[in-house]
A and B are shown apart, each in its own frame.
Chain A
Amino acid sequence: MGEIIHGLIVTVIGMGITFLVLIILSYVLDLFRILAEGPSKKEDDLAEHVEEINPIIEDSNVEDTSSGDDLELVAAITAAIAASMDTTADRLVVRSFRRIGTKTSKWNNLLY
């Protein structure tokens, strides 16, 4: 039984130290976040411009876009495509668009 008690003490110490180390690490990383706060905001702004767009380059019925925010985004995207394709915005309809998430991160290419 003495062994089991010793084992329990080892368990408490072991889990305690494991948690201690990782909790400290976790808080140190919070400092990282504070350090990175400035630059990370800038990156957020940039991310908004990198939308994936599915343009339909033909005259067709305009689909209803629900919220006002989306309409603004659609206008911006239409204008951007129109500019890059050397055409006018009224000849383009943005049917759908979605934000690119982390799905396309380079992690997917990691093999091990």
Chain B
Amino acid sequence: MSFINILMETLKDLMVTSGFAGLTFSHVLMIGISLILMYLAIEKEYEPLLLLPISFGMLLTNLPLAGLMAEPANGEVGGILYYLYQGVKLGIFPPLIFLGVGAMTDFGPLIANPRSILLGAAAQFGIFFAFLGALGLKYIVPFINFTGAEAASIGIIGGADGPTAIYLTSKLAPHLLGPIAVAAYSYMALVPIIQPPIMRALTTKEERMVKMEQLRPVSKTEKILFPIIVTILVSLILPSAAPLVGMLMLGNLFRESGVVGKLVDTASNALMYIITIFLGTTVGATASAENFLNPKTLGIIALGLVAFSIGTAAGVLFGKIMYKTSGGKVNPLIGSAGVSAVPMAARVSQKVGKEENPTNFLLMHAMGPNVAGVIGSAVAAGVLLSIFGS
């Protein structure tokens, strides 16, 4: 065999083991989608903290033969993302993110105005509406057929709460994690665009003008008691919501106790960002071509928008009921904040209120339903988990 032949043979072998040999059209398409998402994250700043790792995870998993998500087989170890993904699969990361969220959240506005919690419940209707929509979709579009567990995972997008959506989906329909996470975080970034038209359409000018009474000051004792009582109450009523609510409240107790500043700092900064990297990248990595390039993804994206819109509408409509029953003291605009998406949704209430009446300041009033929405969507996820889990 001549030298040239050997050279050609070696180059051929190299070609076969290179990624190019395994590259298919769907890989290229997925890489394209991941690049678009990266663009949205970097250039448009759509939830970049999550969308950037998600989109890059998506890129990594769609590079053929790299095997980053490969399971261990034949005595060989698996890919790095496969191992990190276990934190999602086993339901570890979302509660840890909630620990950090709890450490950053001030439940004071909610404690000061307990009735505003109900708005956080009403806005969860979006979850169940989208859930029903997902179940009924096959009657309209015959080739998209969602199971009950899948429909529940899609509905939870309406909770507008990333960790909750990922937690529930990882338990009920892990193959849909990629599209659901992308839909949830994209729509959350779009809250300032999605919500205002719905809020304006459902309220009168007079209602939007309502100025709310100043909230009473909340004592430290109340703030310390709150996480403890919520944990006991929610966990007893709905044990399946305990991992999320429990960790959220642990983080909040750290914060309000005032004696573990370093833990608060770690939970809400270092730990949360570390977990965000792991969670985002590996959730993105579940978006393989076969999981993502599927008519179901289109269904998920459409239903996710429905979930957000209906949740907003339900919150505002409930706000109108409270406006009536309170004799005009409650501004219905704070209802839309009940979808969670903290603190973006509350800021939207503030902004829409201010457009109508520049001296109006709704932010703190909207924070009540907003943080109640976090608890509400965790409870709704707990219900869906206990019905569809296992």
User: Is chain B a partner of chain A in the same complex?
Assistant: yes
Closest CB in chain A relative to B249 CB, distance in Å: 12
What are the interface flags for B366-388 relative to A under an 8 Å C-beta threshold, 1 for contact and 0 otherwise?
A: 01000010011001100110010
Closest CB in chain A relative to B218 CB, distance in Å: 7
Chain B residue at minimum C-beta to C-beta distance from A13: B383
Name A36's contact: one of B120, B219, B230, B234 (CB within 8 Å).
Answer: B219
Contact residues on B (Cβ < 8 Å of other chain), bracket: 35 or more
In the complex, the answer to whether B117 meets A26 with C-beta atoms within 8 Å is yes
Contact residues on A (Cβ < 8 Å of other chain), bracket: 35 or more
Is A102's CB within 8 Å of the partner chain B?
yes
In the complex, the answer to whether B106 meets A36 with C-beta atoms within 8 Å is no
Tell me the dominant secondary structure on chain A's binding face.
helix
Tell me the dominant secondary structure on chain B's binding face.
helix
Compute how far the CA of A22 lies from the CA of B375 in the bound complex, rounded to whole angstroms: 8
What are the interface flags for A1-42 relative to B under an 8 Å C-beta threshold, 1 for contact and 0 otherwise?
A: 001101110110111011111111111111011011001100
In the complex, the answer to whether A110 meets B104 with C-beta atoms within 8 Å is yes
In the complex, the answer to whether A102 meets B215 with C-beta atoms within 8 Å is yes
Among the 9-residue stretches B69-77, B124-132, B169-177, B185-193, the one with 4 or more Cβ atoms under 8 Å from chain A is B124-132
Question: Which residues A32-70 have CB closer than 8 A to chain B?
Answer: 32-33, 35-36, 39-40, 43-44, 47
In the complex, the answer to whether A21 meets B114 with C-beta atoms within 8 Å is no
In the complex, the answer to whether A18 meets B376 with C-beta atoms within 8 Å is yes
Name B217's contact: one of A15, A18, A40 (CB within 8 Å).
Answer: A40
Closest CB in chain B relative to A56 CB, distance in Å: 24
Using Cβ atoms and an 8 Å threshold, which residues of chain A touch B221?
35-36
Given A3-B135, A17-B238, A19-B121, residue A33 in contact with residue B214 (CB < 8 A): no
In the complex, the answer to whether B131 meets A29 with C-beta atoms within 8 Å is no
Using Cβ atoms and an 8 Å threshold, which residues of chain B touch A6?
148
In the complex, the answer to whether A39 meets B148 with C-beta atoms within 8 Å is no
* Most-contacted residue by chain B among A21, A35, A112 (CB, 10 A): A21
Q: Which residues of A contact B (CB under 8 A)?
A: 3-4, 6-8, 10-11, 13-15, 17-30, 32-33, 35-36, 39-40, 43-44, 47, 101-103, 105, 107, 110, 112
Q: Can you report 13 A-B residue pairs in the complex whose CB atoms are below 8 A from each other?
A: A3-B135, A6-B148, A10-B128, A10-B384, A18-B124, A18-B376, A19-B118, A22-B117, A28-B233, A40-B216, A103-B361, A110-B343, A112-B104
User: Which 3 A/B pairs are nearest by Cβ-Cβ distance?
Assistant: A29-B114, A11-B128, A22-B121
Instruction: Add 9 more A-B contacts to A21-B375, A25-B114, A29-B117 (CB < 8 A).
Output: A10-B387, A13-B387, A14-B383, A22-B121, A23-B118, A23-B121, A32-B114, A35-B222, A110-B106
